[in-house]
């Protein structure tokens, strides 16, 4: 089932919130937070202990080794575009299952220091996947600008904040970070894109390479939830 942004409305329903036992440790990728952190916050209603990791590999390793109890990670970018790092990690680590998946409407912006002008920019910094999602907009509006790939969004924002000729691609909520403003909004090529995020947990009955989904479908059933609204600020 394909879900569009127009179908993602309202906040997460009460039945979508996961009851969190005392001391539940929930990990997510990206020290800045962004969408994975937002999903974790809304799903667990601030009852869990949230912990950020550098990337998807690191948070899934932490789950497999018992450092955390649950992980919230990107699952797919739009319809039938799986997040390769997530699926590769789940094929490697022992005994992890997908407890549920949630949908989130995604939007991207061009961020830079106050006073910066897109017409004067010399380079744009972002993760590879974000360049792919904004390729048509960049070709039309900034075709001559150098594209610099980085591993983590935090690196892109650090460069944009410290250089007047450098901009970063990121969720618009991260413009709340001191030293950055939003210079262009909705630059994604597919404005109606909805991403999926997965809630992972350990299941020791499974062996390596046998990750499975506990939810029977990929729609808005009991095992899934729909999220909307703006991202949480960096954190």
pLDDT of the residue at 24: 92
pLDDT of the residue at 28: 94
What is the CATH T-level fold of the domain 5-106+193-227, as seen in this structure? D-Maltodextrin-Binding Protein; domain 2 (3.40.190)
pLDDT of the residue at 205: 65
Choice between 41 and 231, residue whose per-residue pLDDT is larger: 41
Burial class (CB in 10 A: 0-12, 13-18, 19+), 96: buried
Confidence of residue 18 (pLDDT cuts 50, 70, 90): low
pLDDT of the residue at 33: 58
pLDDT of the residue at 88: 94
pLDDT of 172-228, one tens digit each?
Answer: 888 888 899 999 999 998 877 788 999 999 986 654 444 444 433 333 334 454 554
The two tokens of residue 21 are 């036992």
Does the domain spanning 109-184 belong to CATH 3.40.190.10?
Answer: yes
pLDDT of the residue at 4: 41
Residue ranges matching CATH 3.40.190.10 in the chain? 5-106+193-227, 109-184
pLDDT of 43-90, one tens digit each?
Answer: 887 678 999 998 899 999 999 999 999 999 999 876 668 889 999 999
> How far is the C-alpha of 45 from the C-alpha of 24, rounded, in Å?
12
Q: Residue 229: left (phi > 0), alpha (psi -120 to 50), or beta? A: left
pLDDT of 156-174, one tens digit each?
Answer: 999 999 998 999 999 888 8
């Amino acid at each position: 089932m394909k879900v569009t942004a127009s179908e993602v409305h309202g906040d997460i329903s009460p039945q979508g919130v996961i009851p969190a036992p005392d001391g539940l440790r929930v990990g997510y990728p990206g020290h800045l937070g962004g969408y994975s952190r937002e999903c974790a916050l809304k799903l667990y209603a601030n009852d869990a202990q949230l912990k950020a990791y550098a990337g998807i590999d690191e948070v899934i390793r932490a789950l497999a080794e018992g450092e955390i109890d649950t992980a919230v990670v990107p699952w797919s970018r739009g319809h039938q575009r799986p997040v390769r790092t997530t699926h590769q990690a789940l094929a490697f680590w022992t005994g992890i299952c997908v407890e549920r998946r949630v949908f989130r409407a995604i939007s991207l912006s061009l961020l830079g220091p106050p006073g910066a002008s897109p017409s004067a920019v010399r380079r744009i910094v972002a993760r590879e996947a974000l360049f792919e999602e904004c390729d048509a907009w960049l070709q039309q509006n900034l075709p001559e600008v150098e594209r610099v790939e980085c591993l983590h969004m935090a690196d892109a924002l650090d460069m944009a904040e410290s250089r007047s000729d450098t901009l970063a691609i990121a969720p618009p909520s991260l413009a709340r970070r001191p030293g950055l403003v939003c210079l262009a909004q909705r630059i994604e090529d597919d404005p109606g894109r909805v991403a999926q995020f997965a809630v992972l947990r350990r299941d020791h009955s499974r062996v390596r390479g046998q990750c499975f989904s506990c939810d029977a479908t990929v729609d808005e059933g009991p095992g899934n939830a729909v999220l909307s609204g703006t991202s949480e600020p960096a954190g």
